[in-house]
């Protein structure tokens, strides 16, 4: 099946209002343009400089999401154009996004990344630490960043119960923050979870955004 065909197939399974992020990391401009020609506009990359190259080369109505781990010193490269940064995992990174957004007179949308997987390699705040960050004052001072929601990844395992438990923790944290701290923030409305292998589980747990790469483009040769 074509790239456009697979996107259409996935879109057809998504509940109303759920956003598909087509994960285009490692993919060529030609592959991305196939999805673009089929009408898709939201793409996810995990390396800042790759995303900048693609932004420069491709149509300007593409909305670029940074889904990977971000080093603070790379924020400046994407600050002029990035649409949503999924992986805010420290106060330092949050403050740097604010500083760079100010330079470009923008308000940049971000998600707080939560660590719920068993693997040590996955970045993110621990759910028990997120409150410390929220009450730290950084959020009130950083007026050029808008926290739109939560992002997370489940453990890479065939055990669907475990994956559902981990997505359940993300959902709980999202609802908790929405009811508590962000009650007055009408824009706190994104729960980004689910990839090619597990987005069907994430949808059962009310994901509002799924990030899908290999189910659209085929297996990746590199990460
Ligand atoms: C690569 C990646 C994805 C997409 O993974 P697939 O298994 O190819 O769908 C989703 N989210 C993040 C954070 C990723 O790095």
Has residue 23 got a pLDDT over 70?
A: yes
pLDDT in tens, 176-218: 988 876 655 678 999 999 999 999 999 999 999 999 999 999 9
pTM: 0.95
pLDDT at 122 over 80: no
Residue 158 DSSP class: S
- Which residue has the least CA distance to atom 12 on ligand 1? 67
Interatomic CA distance for residues 151 and 133, integer angstroms:
16
Q: Ligand 1: which residue has its CA nearest to atom 7?
A: 196
Which one, of 118, 128, 192, 101, lies nearest residue 161 by Cα?
118
pLDDT of residue 181: 67
Ligand 1, atom nearest to 196 Cα: 9
Q: How far apart are CA 22 and CA 177, in angstroms?
A: 27
8 A C-beta contact, residue 40 and residue 21: no
CA 50 / ligand 1 centre spacing (Å): 15
* Contact criterion met (CB below 8 Å) for 83 and 41: no
For 73, the 3-state DSSP assignment is: helix
pLDDT in tens, 31-75: 999 999 999 999 999 999 999 999 999 999 999 999 999 999 999
- CA–centroid distance, 135 to ligand 1, in Å, is 31
Q: Which residues line ligand 1 (CB under 6 A)?
A: 23, 25, 46, 67-68, 153, 195-197, 211-215
Length of the chain: 223
What does the H/E/C string look like for 15-41?
A: CCCCEEEEECCCCCHHHHHHHHHCCCC
């Amino acid at each position: 099946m074509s790239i456009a065909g697979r996107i259409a197939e996935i879109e057809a399974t998504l509940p109303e209002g759920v956003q598909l992020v087509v994960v285009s990391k490692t993919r060529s401009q030609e592959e991305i343009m196939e999805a673009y020609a089929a009408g898709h506009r939201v793409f996810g990359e995990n390396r800042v400089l790759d995303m900048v190259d693609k932004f420069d080369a491709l149509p300007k109505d593409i909305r670029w999401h940074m889904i990977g781990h971000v080093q603070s010193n790379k924020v400046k490269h994407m600050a002029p154009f990035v649409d949503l940064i999924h992986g805010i995992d420290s106060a330092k990174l949050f403050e740097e996004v604010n500083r760079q957004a100010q330079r470009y007179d923008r308000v940049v949308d971000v998600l707080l990344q939560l660590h719920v997987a068993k693997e040590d390699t996955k970045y993110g705040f621990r759910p028990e630490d997120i409150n410390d960050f929220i009450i730290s004052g950084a959020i009130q001072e950083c007026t050029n960043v808008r926290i739109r929601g939560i992002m997370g990844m489940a453990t890479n395992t065939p055990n669907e119960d475990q994956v559902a438990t981990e997505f359940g923790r993300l959902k709980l944290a999202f609802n908790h923050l929405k009811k508590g701290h962000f009650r007055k923030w009408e824009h706190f409305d994104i729960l980004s979870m689910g990839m090619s292998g597990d987005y069907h589980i994430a949808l059962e747990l009310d994901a509002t955004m799924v990030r899908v790469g290999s189910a659209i483009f085929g297996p990746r040769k590199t990460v």
